[in-house]
A = this chain, B = another copy of it.
């Protein structure tokens, strides 16, 4: 978890970007969370240590972290999750368990190629791909 912070620092230094206080704070909170978080939960949590933190601050940090691939936005329910496989972005699908709400990352290089081809057949050139799933994770299946 502190690994992630270190990775972020390294990544920023290499690319000449600043790993500022609000960015660090947001990443820390996400990294410490077992499950993806909603933006406004992040906002109130970020504000716990004294001064109020306003939406734009957190959204800006989220944009930044998403661009670096340190955080992913889950489109289905507008939540955000820290990325384990940080720094680098081969395409990743996010599967969220309906019971425990934890997110599992799954690589999908192969799938991306197939979809790119399928799109190309219709003359469509893909630049971004979102693959997300819902279901039940192993732990919850066993617990049931």
Q: Interface stretch among A5-13, A27-35, A56-64, A128-136?
A: A128-136
A52 within 8 A of B: no
CB distance from A140 to the nearest CB of B (A): 9
Interface residues of A in 113-144 (CB under 8 A from B): 114-115, 118-119, 122-139, 141
Query: Count of chain A residues with Cβ under 8 Å from any Cβ of B?
Result: 35
CB distance from A28 to the nearest CB of B (A): 27
Most chain B C-beta atoms within 10 Å of own C-beta, residue among A104, A127, A133, A137: A133
Q: In this complex, what residue of B is CB-closest to A141?
A: B125
A residues neighboring B (CB under 8 Å): 75-76, 93, 95, 97-98, 104, 106-108, 110-111, 114-115, 118-119, 122-139, 141
